[in-house]
Amino acid sequence: MFDPTLTADATQTLALQTRKGGPIINFMNPIEPHDGIHLEVQRLRARYTKATHRNVGPSARYNCHGLTFAARRTGISDPAQIARILRDDGYEKLSFGTAPSPGDIAIYQEDGDIIHSGLVVELRGDTPRVLGKWGDCHEVIHDVRDCPYGTAAVAYYRLSR
């Protein structure tokens, strides 16, 4: 629960729940990113030239999972929390070979860790384009594997109701 008595630079936790009322552990860091993060954003823009780099961020208030599941209000870093959200909220995993459509969720998983997530925003041919937050950096719309997390296994989930 957000605590207004804490100092302005203190990390906060918001009251966040799944559809079944399960609490979601989260962190919201309001500190402005250090100057070095802006340099990292520039490096990422130079490296991933096919991506659309949004002028949103950098920010430590939320991460990719916070964008995907918490409307950019806070960050979620525990893979168990993501798994709980997917289960409790009723997300259905698309079967292999089923093409995702805009609005679906892309989940990047590696050795049991959910290292990235994002929203499918369009399909370019057979390649989904995903809107994601890259850590403390900015938001990027990128081909599903054209990102720092591209070596992970990617699965798509859909909320049907």
Partner 1 sequence: MTILSPIDLRDAATIVAVANTPIFLAKRMRELPAAQRARELFTPEQLFGALEQLVLRKPTSHDQVVEPFFYLSVLALHNQGVLLRKASELSAPNLRWFAEVAAYYYAAARPTSLVSVGVPLATPPAAQSASLSPKLILPSSVANSAPRILRATQ
Q: Which residues bind partner 1 (CB under 8 A)?
A: 11, 27, 29, 33-37, 39-41, 43-44, 58, 60, 63-65, 77-79, 110-111, 113-117, 133-137, 148-149
Nearer to partner 1, 107 or 120 (CB): 107
Nearer to partner 1 among residue 43 and residue 54 (C-beta): 43
Report in angstroms how near the CB of residue 126 gets to partner 1 at its nearest: 26
Q: Which region holds residue 72: left if phi is over 0, alpha if psi is between -120 and 50, else beta?
A: left
Partnered with residue 156 across adjacent β-strands are 106
Specify the residue, 43 or 87, whose C-beta has the smaller distance to partner 1.
43
Tell me the one-letter amino acid at 62: Y
Task: Please state the closest distance from residue 70 (CB atom) to partner 1, in A.
Answer: 13
Q: How far is the CB of 16 from partner 1 (least distance, A)?
A: 16
- In the sheet with 113-124, reading across from the earlier edge strand, the strands are 52-53, 139-143, 127-133, 113-124, 105-110, 153-158, 92-93
- The residue among 22 and 79 lying less far from partner 1, judged by its C-beta, is 79
Give, for 15, the enclosing helix (H) or strand (E): none
In whole angstroms, the minimum distance from the beta carbon of 27 to partner 1 comes to 7
Smallest CA-to-CA distance from 60 within 103, 91, 26 is with: 26
CA atoms within 13 A on the CB side of 12: 19
